[in-house]
Amino acid sequence: MKILIDMIRRWVIGDLIGSLVMMISIIFVGPQVTLKRSEIIAILIMSGFIGLYSALFRYLDIAFYQLFLLHFVLTISTVLLANWYFEANKLGVHFEVGYMLFIYLIIWIGMWWWERDDRRRINNQIKKRQRTD
């Protein structure tokens, strides 16, 4: 049950990030962007799957760089599949590979920052415990 809850949480986080990126993209593209319901659903599905891919880091026990490469390949494949669905020449907002790489880099920097803060907090708690012992 814990794994199912974790997967749902990762899906929702992926959707939140994907929705934010989509809205920011629409802001920069221009005021006359029209999205069909099917395109929004496709973006939510794509973002949900990309969110699920983050579970690889928790549940697979292989080297980090192998996990990173697997995550990257799955993410690129999902974005290319979504781009094929959108028929990029018809849609003003689409996920080109270069754009996706930029977003991927920003998200990884954010994740690194978050993990670094968690490690610092945990290390500080350990140091406090060692001082009191």
Residue ranges for the chain with pLDDT beneath 50: 89-93
Calpha distance 10→109 (Å, rounded)? 18
Mean pLDDT for the chain overall: 82
State the pLDDT at residue 91. 45
With 0.85 as the threshold, say if the pTM is over it: no
94 three-state secondary structure: coil
List the chain domain ranges.
Answer: 2-96
CA neighbours within 13 Å on the CB side: how many for 132?
A: 6
State the pLDDT at residue 93. 45
